Chain A
């Protein structure tokens, strides 16, 4: 084996192949930077060229692109607060606050280093697990897969925030949105309101971008000023490195979680990242700082999301069961070269498997190096008045969302979920449980139904189920022990100092959420058996909790403290959201470029208060940039009814 590994390394001695790997890496980095676009866009972008190369080069360039998407997506998440891809939304939660505190450099260097090490550990894990991977994957039956998704959901328990009820409602709401679309076990589409767009469910990229990205950008714009509230970039580069060294075991744990999530076809990159994040929060003693910029909350997930892609290669190469759409494309490319993934690949094409692993490892190192080198310049972005950046940022988000299914529905979904995310963020509702609920509800329901139908009740007797069950319960038992030991010593957590008063926004969000659950409950009753059980449960639980929440909100017992809600900022946010509605309207009527022009002009002239002449010049430049980018990356732009 070692011999095959070395022979595969020789492949990269040729400058041509190294150049191709580099091209793949560059493509991955650029696509990762663009908000909402992930590996699948990167791979689709280079695929037309791939089929003109030889097998080794093709594999190298595809793997290279896939490997680095989750390195560079962090940049957008940290600096702008819009997730560079769905799997890096955790870095919006922890990294973006650091950028706002003027510590962008520290956050980025910690993220890149963890990404790189996570990727390398992933490659190592891939190498080591090749001999045992088949039995390992086959040992996980439907009951174990179900328990693993339940474990992921339990990690969300540590992310519920101070107001547990809101956290639970947020998770239930995410599950409800995740249930839109085809039911896994019955031939029925749920909550589609007769719309074809909703028939396949909501695209994850759009949901992540809406719930996290829109709210951050709107708030930044409404506040005015630049992203970093503190002057200077911070000399954080070394500090970030030191953070990673200090928390080196977190990097390893994150990578292990990521590899597992990749190996199991049920989970995927986003779930793996969130599980790593939940795991860090759950196992940390001091949790006060999470959500406000805790470096540990960057390190573990960033390590995990680079390791996931390595784990994903195991079912892809050994079973021809790709865990993601981008891995499916890799399978397609291999087939085209007559290389058949499956049990025989280890005997017939072992060298190629090592080419994949080496490409993966090299790409992680080179990609992190490039991101490191580019970041000081990029981090300066946080010093510019944000209103001047907002035009292109908003446009890039819309463009990213639209690549999900190329329907106007993508933009409408982005806007609606953006409004929801903004309302939640402003009224003190945690958004992390929402995304976890959204991502995991599908596999959880799927594997529960399969388990129930295949095993009846006997699944509860399987040892794997007991082991995972123990892992699931351990944090709760541990928490109970700690609580009984140190009762009273830890400050009574209910927010005591600042007594919250009734906030109209919190009442509004609570009422909207309750209304949503009530509507869902009504609709769920009409579904066929087999499709309705989980939606009904989620909706009824949401109705119950939501009713309590609404009452408490009306009494003014929940919600952000009065001082935290600046009415000017809220009004500003509402105006900007209205402006975005206008953008979608113009796009629907006239096409994307007129929409881009109108939006950019409005933002630069009215919000950034540029001189009208400059505003027009800037707008023209942005529109031309969008046009050029779309041409280069072969992206499609929404066309209007009166298409221009």
Chain B
């Protein structure tokens, strides 16, 4: 009844008889609870997918939380038919679990086709109390304390970045998310923090202006050729790659710890928000989806409401254009996996 009322009030418009997708319904699997970052993004994109996929199918989001994002992703790998009607929005947790080769993972991104992908960046900042004015001073900092949920997860990127720079902050695990950790930073309980760009811009920049936080560096971003460039959303801040060079006067390329950082940063951030279709999906159906991505990118309303506000200005790539790059970045060698595991075990006493 409620839905009827809503439908009547809003007049859901579906029109036009078009090829494959006309009259069909697309279901996007989000393997987290409603309200997570990837869930919000997918839900905001859904109306634009409806508008721009030829035939205007209805697009529904289905949350399948459980197993720390693994359950829903496994379900997709085992059950989704290659008909373009079931897609997977893989969140960062699912990607990290995949690259560090968690034994519970039953999905393999190499068997999926990429519909679209977008990324995000992240920023490190510190409390003025630690006596740091720029990132290159980090090795001299006093009392660096970070907070985080228990690993694995995005904290791995931060831990490996600090290891790369030769910095050993104390990391306090146990926070229920990055939001409560940020509150603890504001309260002065933590002195080093790491947040995604959108959170940094909205929540932390006011603290910077008030002199209560010192911005340090971004993770950086990757250009089409896989080169590290400055974060397009925060061009004034140096990247981890640059800061390494400022401290050590050489490039980190080739070092195992750089490879580990780059792997986590590419898979978890630069290509962290992928929308996938099952492997055997026919090319003509994939083309419909890829063309819809192009049309979305040309839609000024999408640009304003989603691209600027939720994607923070990071590009939404057409899946087929970057698929090879993404697949390459999702495969990391066993020595790198071992390095990450050993680091987390030896320095932080955690078995991942």
| Interfacial residues, chain A to chain B (CB-CB below 8 A) | 19-20, 23, 26-27, 30, 40, 43-49, 51-53, 137-142, 182-188, 196-197, 199-200, 265-266, 315, 319-322, 325-329, 331-332, 335-338, 340-344, 405-407, 409, 443, 446-447, 449-450, 453-454, 528-530, 632-634, 636
A51-B46, A138-B187, A407-B66 are contacts. A454–B175 as well, Cβ < 8 Å? no
Q: B333 contacts the other chain (Cβ, under 8 Å)?
A: no
Q: Is the CB of A44 within 8 A of B202?
A: no
Q: 30 A-B residue contacts at CB 8 Å? A: A26-B2, A40-B35, A46-B2, A49-B6, A141-B187, A141-B189, A184-B174, A185-B150, A187-B152, A187-B344, A199-B66, A199-B71, A319-B179, A322-B35, A325-B34, A328-B36, A332-B35, A332-B44, A335-B40, A336-B40, A336-B309, A341-B202, A343-B206, A344-B202, A407-B64, A450-B147, A450-B174, A454-B145, A633-B2, A636-B62
Q: Is the CB of A30 within 8 A of B1?
A: yes
Top 7 A-B pairs, shortest CB-CB distance? A328-B35, A332-B40, A321-B179, A196-B67, A185-B174, A325-B35, A199-B67
Q: Which residues of chain B come closer than 8 Å to A40, judged between CB atoms? A: 33-35
Q: How many residues of B sit at the interface, in one of the four size bands?
A: 35 or more
Q: Which residues of chain A come closer than 8 Å to B39, judged between CB atoms? A: 329, 332
Q: Is the CB of A405 within 8 A of B3?
A: no
Q: How far is the CB of B302 from chain A (nearest CB, A)?
A: 11
Q: Is the CB of B152 within 8 A of A45?
A: no
Q: Is the CB of A187 within 8 A of B66?
A: no
Q: Is the CB of A138 within 8 A of B186?
A: yes
Q: Which residues of chain A come closer than 8 Å to B64, judged between CB atoms? A: 405-407
Q: Is the CB of B351 within 8 A of A20?
A: no
Q: B168 contacts the other chain (Cβ, under 8 Å)?
A: no
Q: B199 contacts the other chain (Cβ, under 8 Å)?
A: yes
Most interface-central of B46, B65, B150 (chain A CB within 10 A) = B150
Q: How far is the CB of A98 from chain B (nearest CB, A)?
A: 29
Q: B352 contacts the other chain (Cβ, under 8 Å)?
A: yes
Q: Is the CB of A45 within 8 A of B35?
A: no
Q: Is the CB of B71 within 8 A of A453?
A: no
A200-B66, A450-B147 are contacts. A49–B199 as well, Cβ < 8 Å? no
Give CA–CA (A46, B4) in the complex, Å: 11
Contact of A184 among B4, B104, B173, B351 (CB under 8 A): B173
Question: Which B178-227 residues have C-beta < 8 A from chain A?
Answer: 179-180, 182-184, 186-187, 189-190, 198-199, 202-203, 206
Query: How many pairs, one residue from A and one from B, have CB atoms within 8 Å of each other in the complex?
Result: 210
Identity of the chain B residue whose Cβ is nearest the Cβ of A40 in the assembled complex:
B34
Identity of the chain A residue whose Cβ is nearest the Cβ of B179 in the assembled complex:
A321
Q: Is the CB of A20 within 8 A of B9?
A: yes
Most interface-central of B62, B151, B170, B176 (chain A CB within 10 A) = B176
5 other A-B residue contacts (CB within 8 Å) besides A319-B182, A335-B198:
A40-B34, A53-B10, A199-B68, A321-B177, A343-B203
A321-B179, A632-B2 are contacts. A182–B203 as well, Cβ < 8 Å? no
Mask of B298-342 contacts with A, CB within 8 angstroms, 1/0:
000000111011100000000000000000000000000000000
Q: Is the CB of A196 within 8 A of B104?
A: yes
Q: Is the CB of A446 within 8 A of B176?
A: yes
Q: Is the CB of B173 within 8 A of A329?
A: no
Mask of B127-164 contacts with A, CB within 8 angstroms, 1/0:
00000000000000000010101111000000000000
Q: Is the CB of B44 within 8 A of A319?
A: no
A19-B9, A26-B5, A454-B172 are contacts. A328–B65 as well, Cβ < 8 Å? no
Q: B266 contacts the other chain (Cβ, under 8 Å)?
A: no
Identity of the chain A residue whose Cβ is nearest the Cβ of B46 in the assembled complex:
A48
Q: Which residues of chain B come closer than 8 Å to A326, judged between CB atoms? A: 34-35
Interface of chain A: mostly helix, strand, loop or mixed: helix
Q: B349 contacts the other chain (Cβ, under 8 Å)?
A: yes
Give CA–CA (A51, B6) in the complex, Å: 13
Identity of the chain B residue whose Cβ is nearest the Cβ of A28 in the assembled complex:
B2
Q: B295 contacts the other chain (Cβ, under 8 Å)?
A: no
Q: Is the CB of B36 within 8 A of A449?
A: no
Q: Is the CB of A27 within 8 A of B74?
A: no
Q: Is the CB of B66 within 8 A of A142?
A: no
| Interfacial residues, chain B to chain A (CB-CB below 8 A) | 1-7, 9-10, 12, 33-36, 39-40, 43-44, 46-47, 60-68, 70-71, 74, 104, 145, 147, 149-152, 170, 172-177, 179-180, 182-184, 186-187, 189-190, 198-199, 202-203, 206, 304-306, 308-310, 344, 349-352
Q: Is the CB of B350 within 8 A of A52?
A: no
Q: How far is the CB of B205 from chain A (nearest CB, A)?
A: 9
Identity of the chain B residue whose Cβ is nearest the Cβ of A41 in the assembled complex:
B34
Q: How far is the CB of A204 from chain B (nearest CB, A)?
A: 12
Give CA–CA (A454, B173) in the complex, Å: 10
Q: Is the CB of A265 within 8 A of B9?
A: no
Q: Is the CB of B180 within 8 A of A265?
A: yes
A321-B182, A632-B1 are contacts. A530–B176 as well, Cβ < 8 Å? no
Identity of the chain A residue whose Cβ is nearest the Cβ of B7 in the assembled complex:
A49
Q: Which residues of chain B come closer than 8 Å to A406, judged between CB atoms? A: 62-64
Contact of A142 among B179, B184, B351 (CB under 8 A): B184
Give CA–CA (A32, B182) in the complex, Å: 33
Identity of the chain B residue whose Cβ is nearest the Cβ of A445 in the assembled complex:
B174
Q: Which residues of chain B come closer than 8 Å to A321, judged between CB atoms? A: 177, 179-180, 182-183
Q: Which residues of chain A come closer than 8 Å to B350, judged between CB atoms? A: 186-187, 530
Give CA–CA (A30, B2) in the complex, Å: 8
Contact of B305 among A196, A199, A322, A336 (CB under 8 A): A336
Q: Which residues of chain B come closer than 8 Å to A405, judged between CB atoms? A: 64-66, 71
Q: Which residues of chain A come closer than 8 Å to B177, judged between CB atoms? A: 321
Give CA–CA (A32, B295) in the complex, Å: 40
Q: Is the CB of A44 within 8 A of B63?
A: yes
Q: Which residues of chain A come closer than 8 Å to B43, judged between CB atoms? A: 47-48, 51, 329, 332
Most interface-central of A49, A187, A321, A326 (chain B CB within 10 A) = A187
Q: Which residues of chain B come closer than 8 Å to A187, judged between CB atoms? A: 150-152, 344, 350-352
Identity of the chain A residue whose Cβ is nearest the Cβ of B5 in the assembled complex:
A23
Q: How far is the CB of B79 from chain A (nearest CB, A)?
A: 9
Give CA–CA (A409, B352) in the complex, Å: 25
Give CA–CA (A453, B350) in the complex, Å: 15
Q: Which residues of chain B come closer than 8 Å to A199, judged between CB atoms? A: 66-68, 70-71, 104
Give CA–CA (A568, B309) in the complex, Å: 63
Q: How far is the CB of B320 from chain A (nearest CB, A)?
A: 27
Q: How far is the CB of B37 from chain A (nearest CB, A)?
A: 8
